[in-house]
Amino acid sequence: LSDKEQSIHASWEDNAAAWVEAIHQGRIESRVQVTNAAVVSAVREVARARVLDIGCGEGWLCRAAAKVGLAAVGFDGSAALIAEAEKLGGGEYQLLSYDDFAADPFRAGGVFDTVICNYSLLGEDVLPMLRGAAAVLEPGGRLIVQTLHPLSAVGADDRYEDGWRVEDFSGMGSGFKTHMPWYFRTIGSWISQIRLSGLQLVECREPIISERPMPASLLLIAARPSDI
Ligand SMILES: C[S@@+](CC[C@H](N)C(=O)[O-])C[C@H]1O[C@@H](n2cnc3c(N)ncnc32)[C@H](O)[C@@H]1O
């Protein structure tokens, strides 16, 4: 693991309890106002039977998928978050790192009609994960990626270009102990990563909160063609 990937992993172990609290208390405004509903409705539109949630955290999205009759499998690299997910149920959960998934994607649980990455592709090198997702998708299956909209993350001193940033979790409640590096990606960069993975982009949604000037998230839907 690179130093940055190691720091991302460490932050999710250190901040697991605070993260669980933030999710359960609805402390992240953009999630409550628009992005949770956006990803759940995308899942309802495209998923047929069996979904894989990559970087599932404490499992809320697997539980939402289970509620609408889907079989949900989630994996995450944080032991504390997987323990919480198992406690709350709703899916089959596994402690698995992205490196291990990328090395053998089928160990996550076989083949899926839908793979979801909800705010979980945080590092610079996302291609191994996207290729892993492509590998476990049935032909015609869909990948749903929701991520911070780059326009909502460009401050006055930032350039609109790929690069490492730092999340300090301010505004997400208390108890966050460790900052997290994350890799800012432009929309063009997300689209080229998807293309390089062999998947075909079918939709680009930009959920927006009505009182805000910029979209909260970027939600990409890509399809696995039958010939990869
Ligand atoms: C912002 S949280 C999102 C959690 C969940 N998808 C949600 O929407 O609430 C990012 C998740 O990605 C996981 N993650 C990040 N990098 C990882 C890696 N290299 N291996 C395994 N999990 C990783 C973290 O442990 C964390 O649970």
**Residue 190: per-residue pLDDT:** 98
Q: What are phi and psi for residue 124, nearest 5 degrees?
A: -80, -40
- Distance from the Cα of residue 43 to its chain's centroid: 13
Q: What residues line ligand 1, using a CB cutoff of 6 Å? A: 5, 8-9, 12, 23, 55-57, 60-61, 76-78, 81, 97-98, 118-120, 122
Q: Which two tokens stand for residue 185?
A: 């990606």
Q: What is the mean pLDDT of the chain?
A: 96
Average pLDDT on 78-93 reads 98
pLDDT at 228 over 80: no
Q: What is the pLDDT of residues 183-217, one digit of tens each?
A: 999 999 999 999 999 999 999 999 999 989 999 99
Q: 25, exposed or middle or buried, with CB in 10 Å at 0-12, 13-18, 19+?
A: exposed
Residue 227, pLDDT > 90, answer no
CA–centroid distance, residue 76 to ligand 1 (Å):
6
- Per DSSP, which regions of 71-197 are E strands? 71-76, 92-95, 112-118, 137-148, 163-167, 180-184
Burial class, 7, CB count within 10 angstroms (exposed 0-12 / middle 13-18 / buried 19+): middle
Best of 54, 96, 119, 120 for a ligand 1 pocket test (most atoms within 8 Å of beta carbon): 120
* C-alpha 81 – ligand 1 centre gap (Å): 9
Task: Report which of 139, 157, 152, 146 is spatially closest to residue 119, judged by C-alpha positions.
Answer: 146
**What's the rounded Cα separation, in Å, for the pair 129 and 100?**
10
Give the pLDDT of residue 173.
94
Enumerate the β-bridge partners of residue 75. 54, 94
**CA of 6 relative to ligand 1 center, distance in Å:** 13
pLDDT in tens, 143-180: 999 999 999 988 888 899 999 999 999 999 999 999 99
